[in-house]
Structure 1
């Protein structure tokens, strides 16, 4: 090409660049920017709650990304990880950086209600979807509800309502609560009390233990002396394990029915069936529920050498449903995606016919489970006997007593 031809070609290219593009090309550029879809997952990755969510929860999200082919609407999907270390300030800092600097499209909030409240506040200011999976406080869909906040897996309302209704309807009407004296524990007792009384039961007494208590003997003695039929343990993990050990030592495990109001499969695994047998709990999912749940759990086991908790299953589902919404709308615009999520039902190995209520609660079935005796179990991780299924509308009442 000589000099004159080069000048003509350059001029032609410049003129072409100045010409208006077709509306289709402009829309494609607006809808399909050449950047990754970014999902942020912030949870306890290294602390006391890492087992129930943590790195294995991140692996569950990766499984969802893989199941969508790694790209959605022509864009690759990227997972950002944050370890909040159970500190709300750290959680807020991570969320602010993700939204302000890293261009995160959606966040999955992991365990710990205080850290989740910090992250949902940031997400609400930016109008970006946040799927709350590991944190159960009902404040997120009541006092601090916002259009971008989705309470996906469970809440203090459901955890306390399901056993409160299920066991009281079976005729176990006299309840006593041992409650961790901080907002999460107090929420559990309040919601449980409403459910028990709505089903015709009575709260015959309650005591509050300091958060982090080691000696549960005096609290359990008060429960014994109340002659209650059901003891609700409104605490979780470390305190639950200590209370259960004290129950065994005091020979109280056969004197009343026990309910762990925040209990996961990891807690049962740590206690062992001999110690945990007969304990009631509510959960949103369990891996032996059906063939599809089993199939996914076996895939998870191959990667993690353990069966998934309900939170890890919900991490997978939340990521999958978000990516399906992008695929359906061909957009990551928060308003477009949230509108689609509110108009559809959620169906996968975790949830059946789930739907978003106007307050952001994802309504779905919850299960009243009882821990099997060792002779009933078919092997390691086979821990649960389903007792009752409570539909989402009843498991997640809009207000106490409704």
Structure 2
């Protein structure tokens, strides 16, 4: 009797142990099973497709994202990778409405690019609320400063790196007297203020500043003031057509032969449109140049075959950001935004755009930048051979230190 009871208890114990082991196995298997919302991993490119920023981003950014997807064979975690794109027309309300539609109705997991800061801020906030990811190429340092979120990251460059960082590097090299030609609105003021801070911090001086209205056709009076100054450097705190118009007219005045000209926001397509006869001698910071090494040349030639143009730093950055996102999804085993972003911060960014790049706690992707000078026509070997790299600047020397970040994630 006792023996039978013991055998019965033992059988029951072993039965319970087997059931517990089976449940544990099921739980472990479920945890290891990739977790993807919907039937695909969906990526959106939202930018200016037809206006001011179409050449530097636009359809070229879409193609760059497509190249990153193709490297993965079009799938990740056994799911198809889908790409959608739209034109935000440089209007925050249009961009936010499209992003909301993508996030809530179409199952888009991540939106990249923007190029326009106002659109970027609108989508960054929306992505935070909906647990989606925003990968931003617009310039404002506030994206990874006071506006930072757990589900966003900033690639390519910032207003700090290309304003303060540019002036810091130049001042350290002996360019210690500056004159500022500033477009008279928030963008220009922000860059001019950063340049002023860096120059004075480096022991230099800003000898004067003149502000001009947005979309000024005639820059002659402003350029004459810069020309008559004793400054070694003239900094054009402007972008797009304002920057291009200023550089073009400065060349007509011979200013580029008398002083060193710099600008904070310059793209390869700007130089292509201006021509080397007008742009030669201009110095600026860039995140990417197609002819820097074998890897950049190989990728850029593939891009050229699709677009008949060499890539800008924004287009190369979109490729890098999308590729790194897909690597993080693969490594995390899920497309959950917060988990994927945590993995993006864990993994180094190693591709033709960046070697050993790092997404910091505030979401800023820190990587090497390059001080370049536009070549003279006689120095160029052909179309798109426009830059001479003067200096490679490590990321921790050109981007704002994390200790100075206003990001609440860092402060907490």
The TM-score normalised by the length of structure 1 is 0.91
In 2: Cα distance, 1:181 partner to 1:100 partner: 39
Runs ≥4 residues deviating over 6 A: none
Residue 353 of structure 1 corresponds to: 356
Contact 2:179 2:226 in 1 (8 A): yes
1:262 match: secondary structure? coil
Residue 206 of structure 1 corresponds to: 209
CA change 1:132–1:32 in 2 (3 A) is closer
- How much has 1:250 moved relative to structure 2? 2.2
CA change 1:373–1:249 in 2 (3 A) is closer
CA change 1:206–1:26 in 2 (3 A) is same
In 1: Cα distance, 2:294 partner to 2:374 partner: 20
2:150 match: secondary structure? coil
Deviates more, 1:23-32 or 1:43-52: 23-32
User: Among residues 357, 369, 375, which one is paired with 1:366 in the alignment?
Assistant: 369
Residue 11 of structure 1 corresponds to: none
2:372 match: secondary structure? strand
In 2: Cα distance, 1:224 partner to 1:33 partner: 60
Contact 2:179 2:229 in 1 (8 A): yes
In 2: Cα distance, 1:394 partner to 1:86 partner: 32
User: Among residues 243, 247, 251, which one is paired with 1:248 in the alignment?
Assistant: 251
1:45 match: secondary structure? coil
Residue 319 of structure 1 corresponds to: 322
2:362 match: secondary structure? coil
In 2: Cα distance, 1:104 partner to 1:287 partner: 30
Deviates more, 1:172-181 or 1:282-291: 172-181
In 1: Cα distance, 2:36 partner to 2:113 partner: 26
In 2: Cα distance, 1:361 partner to 1:189 partner: 22
CA change 1:220–1:263 in 2 (3 A) is same
Residue 84 of structure 2 corresponds to: 80
Residue 65 of structure 1 corresponds to: 69
Residue 217 of structure 1 corresponds to: 220
Aligned length: 381
The TM-score normalised by the length of structure 2 is 0.88
Deviates more, 1:68-77 or 1:98-107: 98-107
Residue 137 of structure 1 corresponds to: 140
1:52 aligns with 2:56: yes
Query: CA-to-partner distance for each residue in 1:35-71, whole Å, 9 max, x for gaps?
Result: 1101111000111211111001100100000001100
Contact 2:144 2:364 in 1 (8 A): yes
Q: Where in structure 1 are there 5+ consecutive unaligned residues?
A: 1-19
Query: CA-to-partner distance for each residue in 1:105-149, whole Å, 9 max, x for gaps?
Result: 11103211111112112112223221102x101121222121222
- How much has 1:23 moved relative to structure 2? 3.4
